[in-house]
A and B are shown apart, each in its own frame.
Chain A
Amino acid sequence: MNLLLERLSNAFGPSGSEEAVRAILIEELASSWDQARTDSMGNLIVSQGLDRSGPRGLIAAHMDEVGFIVDSIDENGFLRFKTLGGIDARILPSKRVVVGLHNTLGVIGATPNHLLDKEDERAQSSDDLYIDIGARSRSQALELVGIGEAGTFHTEFGSVGTGLVKGKALDDRAGCFIAAQLVKAGVGVPVDVAFTVQEEVGLRGAAIAASQTRPDFAVVLEATTCADRPDPDAAGHSTYLGAGPVITFQDATSVPTRTLVDLLVETARERQIPFQWKETTLGGNDAGSIHLANGGIPTVSVSLPCRYIHTPCSFLARSDIEHTIELVQAFLTRISMEGLPR
């Protein structure tokens, strides 16, 4: 299981620059799809079993990750940037990053303690920060990185702890990985699988993917917040790592269709697949734009708890990935046999 997830996690793909992720998915899935296309924004839409009877599903997972975009380069060759997507600027100082079309390695600098006011506890904003790529002047920097080019964290995927993996961009390369596994195995139902762009900057790609495919229902595969550390008992934990796929009852961008939510729960119980609720209404995902497309589409989210999401090093549990694949496959099979629940 690891190699594809590893390649996806390590791949460069901040919002608007998902090409490398898409290339990996095309290479991986080309022999498994019936048809596939890209669109004006860069979504990859793979179709399977459209000649079969039953409701047409849309499975969506986003290819993009949070990152940076270079908005200016100063005379000494330091890159100034804005963040792409929601990043807590406090995690940025003293991190390694990859920037631009040539995958240039850089570091986000940090002013030494010695030169700071010891009493000052205010965090810097991303506007105060800069990327050092080792250039000595603006012109040298421009040979490596252009204005408007994107960047992301430089992190190696790996195994950690007890049954966990670590890496950057697991939100939502893990969703892409699960969708790819479903396509490779053959879902056996009429389905379009959309690997979407620009989720992190406002659920953009999914909006047009839904319009193009005109599904009868949609399943969004996401990686979601998991704040079960430092305090597992805190009310704000959202989800628990390793406790199974996450079902959303409501978040900041959609109220998932209750009949589909109930069917997910019923399927999980019947198949004895562990699941958990997302115990917060904060955060959102592509369901937010999909459920509003084409005059409204019944939509649910199945997510993976992702500890330290939107940082250079997040954690996922392998068991959650396996259980999510199992649950989504069973759910799709059931809809194809029984039709959409009323």
Chain B
Amino acid sequence: MVDPNLVDLLTQLARVPAVSGREEGVASMIAVHLRACGEEIHQTIRTDALGNLYATITSERSGPRPTFLLSAHMDTIGLVVRQIEESGIIRVLPVGGVNRRTLMAQEVWIHGRERLFGVVGTTPPHLTTPAERKQIPPWEAFFVDTGMSGNDVAQQVRPGDWISFAALPTSLSEGRLTSPGLDNRAGVASVLWSGLQLAKSRRALPVNVILHFTVQEELGTRGASALAEPAPDAAIVVDVGFGEMPDVPGRDTIQMGRGPALTAGPNIHKEMRRFLAGVAERHEAPVQDEVMAGSSGTDAWEIQIAHQGIPTSVVSIPLRYMHSTVETVDLEDVQLAANLLVAACLEANPDDVRRWSGESVARAIK
């Protein structure tokens, strides 16, 4: 049921560190895969000044076609070097919403002149007080140790160098994958895999498809705010949602292994969401509901109001332990999300899609 190529893609993507603002590694890996789809798609690959990456799959059917945007952010949370002390320890600050509770004793890579290994240092429990052990330390207390002297570190590392988490993707039992950065490589892999499928079906495609890989989502959905012209007719943003886990109320989470969620709320175009739910139903593919009362917390918040306004939906892949180094997905959910993207593009009715953007209303006759 899960395509081994999709698992490969996701695993490869998750191995490449790309903290917000430093997404080049993931972007170039995406470009390599897209180039393999043939010269015509290769020609459409472009990046903008921020590092967002676009590629277009053009329908081979006659006549003008509306455009679907499939979007996923490439960046992940991480750390940045603040200061190097004489002893060689590196003081750090967060990039994006890093969970301080997960940071102690983590293995990291420091991307200086060369890549250096480091560990987030701790004080031995023997030498701390019970009161100290009950308190999460403030950011100022965290440091990274490379095991090198201050002089050696200063030769290699500068303030502003970025730091990523060192753990590599690995499988848990029952088709579950754990890795830092699955938020949102799971989304990137779904969009990329669906693009690779659609590239083979251009004769059947009722719409043109833009693949959109964004930067700096974790710093405030910034890459997506620079969405290029011409505006697409509809956008599907693929990101991760809170997978159910102990000690979190069920209403705040979605189930693992029961398919992606279709977000509902003011960020989402209702007609478009109904269309996606219908596609899933026709394919007997499970989907779940996820409700977001305002912002979906994704790039969709920006895309919805880009240019003249764009009908937008969010496909949410359940993910446990968001913004930790043990983010975990069920591979089946990633596959179901990717399948839904392919089916949605192939089964869209161009007239319906155009109608999502609003219609002229006839003047009433008195």
- Chain B residues with CB below 8 A from A124, complex form: 101
Are A104 and B321 in contact, with the CB atoms below 8 A?
no
- Chain A residues with CB below 8 A from B135, complex form: 121-123
Any B CB within 8 A of the CB of A232: yes
Residues of chain B from 132 to 160 with CB closer than 8 A to chain A in the complex:
133-137, 143, 145-149, 152
Residues of chain A from 120 to 147 with CB closer than 8 A to chain B in the complex:
121-124, 128, 130, 132-136, 140, 144
Are A225 and B152 in contact, with the CB atoms below 8 A?
no
- Chain B residues with CB below 8 A from A135, complex form: 173-174
Are A111 and B248 in contact, with the CB atoms below 8 A?
yes
Are A94 and B87 in contact, with the CB atoms below 8 A?
no
Are B119 and A94 in contact, with the CB atoms below 8 A?
no
- Chain B residues with CB below 8 A from A136, complex form: 174, 256-257
Are A96 and B246 in contact, with the CB atoms below 8 A?
no
| Cα-based distance from A314 to B167 in the complex (angstroms) | 16
Any B CB within 8 A of the CB of A62: no
> Which of the 9-residue segments A40-48, A83-91, A185-193 touches chain B?
A83-91
Task: Specify which of A91, A116, A132, A280 is in contact with B122 (CB 8 Å cutoff).
Answer: A91
Residues of chain B from 327 to 354 with CB closer than 8 A to chain A in the complex:
328
Are B246 and A91 in contact, with the CB atoms below 8 A?
no
Any B CB within 8 A of the CB of A20: no
CB distance from A79 to the nearest CB of B (A): 11
- Say yes or no: A310-B176 contact (C-beta < 8 A), given A88-B133, A111-B248: no
Are B87 and A231 in contact, with the CB atoms below 8 A?
yes
Are A114 and B125 in contact, with the CB atoms below 8 A?
no
Are A121 and B136 in contact, with the CB atoms below 8 A?
yes
> Which of the 9-residue segments A160-168, A262-270, A334-342 touches chain B?
A160-168
Are A88 and B102 in contact, with the CB atoms below 8 A?
no
Are B133 and A112 in contact, with the CB atoms below 8 A?
no
- Chain B residues with CB below 8 A from A130, complex form: 246
| Cα-based distance from A175 to B125 in the complex (angstroms) | 20
Any B CB within 8 A of the CB of A229: yes
Are A91 and B104 in contact, with the CB atoms below 8 A?
yes
Interface size class of B (residues with CB under 8 A): 35 or more
- Interface flags for B105-145 (1: CB within 8 Å of A; 0: not) read 11100000000010101111111100001111100000101
Are B127 and A225 in contact, with the CB atoms below 8 A?
yes
- Chain B residues with CB below 8 A from A295, complex form: none
- Chain A residues with CB below 8 A from B79, complex form: none
Are B322 and A238 in contact, with the CB atoms below 8 A?
no
Residues of chain B from 41 to 85 with CB closer than 8 A to chain A in the complex:
85
- Say yes or no: A115-B242 contact (C-beta < 8 A), given A95-B105, A107-B326, A238-B127: yes
Any A CB within 8 A of the CB of B97: yes
Chain A contacts to B: CB under 8 angstroms? 74, 76, 78, 86-91, 93-96, 104-116, 121-124, 128, 130, 132-136, 140, 144, 155, 158, 160-162, 164, 166, 225-232, 236, 238, 280, 282-283, 307-313, 315
Chain B contacts to A: CB under 8 angstroms? 85, 87, 89, 97-99, 101-102, 104-107, 117, 119, 121-128, 133-137, 143, 145-149, 152, 167, 170-176, 178, 242, 245-248, 252, 256-257, 297, 320-326, 328
Q: List 25 A-B contacts (CB under 8 A).
A: A86-B125, A88-B125, A90-B133, A93-B102, A94-B99, A95-B325, A96-B167, A105-B171, A111-B245, A111-B247, A123-B101, A128-B247, A132-B172, A134-B173, A161-B145, A161-B146, A162-B148, A162-B149, A166-B117, A229-B87, A229-B89, A230-B87, A230-B121, A282-B126, A311-B105
Q: Which 3 A-B pairs have the closest CB atoms?
A: A161-B147, A134-B172, A94-B102
